[in-house]
Structures are given as C-alpha cells and as structure tokens.
Amino acid sequence: MELMELLTGRRTYRRFLQKEVSRDIIDEILYAARLASSAANKQPLSYVVIRDAKKVEDVFQCTRWAGYLPPGDGQPKDGEKPVLFIAVVENLSVSQDCDTDAGLAIGNMTLAAWNHGVGSCIIGACDKTKLSAMFGLTQEQKLHTVVAFGYPSHKSRITDAEEPGDIKYYLDENRDYVVPKRKREDVVTFL
C-alpha cells in the first residue's frame, strides 16, 4: 500500500471477522515493533503474543472498548472479537522511561498489520493486574498496553471535528466508526 493510504486506513477497529491472522503476518508485526527507534537504543520493550483462542478470550475479558459508546455498541460481541492480542511490556531494569518507545513500537505494529489488511485496537483500559499475572510478568516488568488484532468487519473513517472539542467518535447508520480529528488550523502553527 502507498504510505498515505496506509496511514489513512490504519484506524482503530473494534469488530472483527473470526479469521486467523497467519504466523507470517504475526512475525512481520513483531519485526516492525523491533525496528522502532528507541531512546539511547536501550530497547526496553518485550512482547507477549496471545493467539490461542481460549487465552485470547481470557485476555478479552480484561479489556474495555470504545469508552465513548454505550457498551452494547462499542464492546465487541461473540463473533466480533479479536483473534489475537500482543501485549507490550516495559522492562524497568532496562529503562524506566518507556512511553515514547512503546508508542513508536505500537505505531509500527499497527501499520505493519494494516499493510496486510489486519486491523487493530490499542487497549489501555484493561485490568493490568490480572493480565500481568496471566502473562507471568515479574516485579521488574510493567504491562504498557495490549493491542488487539483481526480482520475488520466494519469500516472506519475520519472527519474534521467541527468544534475543537468535538472529538468523540460515533457509529454511523451502517455501524461504521466515524472519528473526528481536530482541524489542521486548530492544531498547527507556522512561524
């Protein structure tokens, strides 16, 4: 895909086909994560891949989706749930300052996935205590986020936010996501 097409289409997806993501694509997503820039090249992140269906369901139960929508609209139902999670883990003995590294790695992962038509949802709203125990994380490790993946069964498009504060995404008449982005003039200053 052409880069700007890739960036435009790489939206957050929250309903998925129940179709497996191949091992080759998973490996490419992980390679993309490892390619990301890292402060002082410390590379403090590691990854836990969850693709066994029962474990994916266990992780799913610890996640919350689409906070701006009523749960009946935003939370994926049976037959719509993601088929894969990749957890991003901070290794605090390597660095205590992992947030930018994590953002860059997650950006690479979600783009690499979308390059194969695999959609994603970054999940910060999750039960990190439960998930950390599930993943066997040590005291030196901290769960940053889990990223959900799958082939989307809906569309998502961006629109200009009419007012700068109008940032809540919503579903249109086809239950596709519409995601307002602040207008260029509201966020860019040229000096």
Ligand X SMILES: Cc1cc2nc3c(=O)[nH]c(=O)nc-3n(C[C@H](O)[C@H](O)[C@H](O)COP(=O)(O)O)c2cc1C
Positions in the binding site for ligand X (CB under 6 A): 11-12, 14, 64-66, 121-125, 156, 169, 179
Residues 6 or more apart from 158 whose CB is under 8 A from it?
A: 8, 11, 178, 179, 180, 181
**Minimum distance, C-beta of residue 12 to ligand X, in the bound complex (Å):** 4
Q: Which is nearer to ligand X, 30 or 62 (CB)?
A: 62
Q: Which is nearer to ligand X, 92 or 179 (CB)?
A: 179
Q: Which is nearer to ligand X, 84 or 121 (CB)?
A: 121
Q: Which is nearer to ligand X, 25 or 88 (CB)?
A: 88
**Minimum distance, C-beta of residue 133 to ligand X, in the bound complex (Å):** 19
Closest CA to 96 of 36, 42, 37: 42
**Minimum distance, C-beta of residue 102 to ligand X, in the bound complex (Å):** 9
Strand partners, 180: 159
**Minimum distance, C-beta of residue 23 to ligand X, in the bound complex (Å):** 26
Residue type at 22?
S
Q: Which is nearer to ligand X, 9 or 94 (CB)?
A: 9
User: What's the CA gap between 31 and 138, in Å, rounded?
Assistant: 24
Closest CA to 144 of 108, 101, 90: 90
For 62, 81, 147, 185, the CA distances from 125, given in Å and listed in that order, are: 9, 16, 11, 31
**Minimum distance, C-beta of residue 122 to ligand X, in the bound complex (Å):** 4
The token duo for 98 is: 């992992």
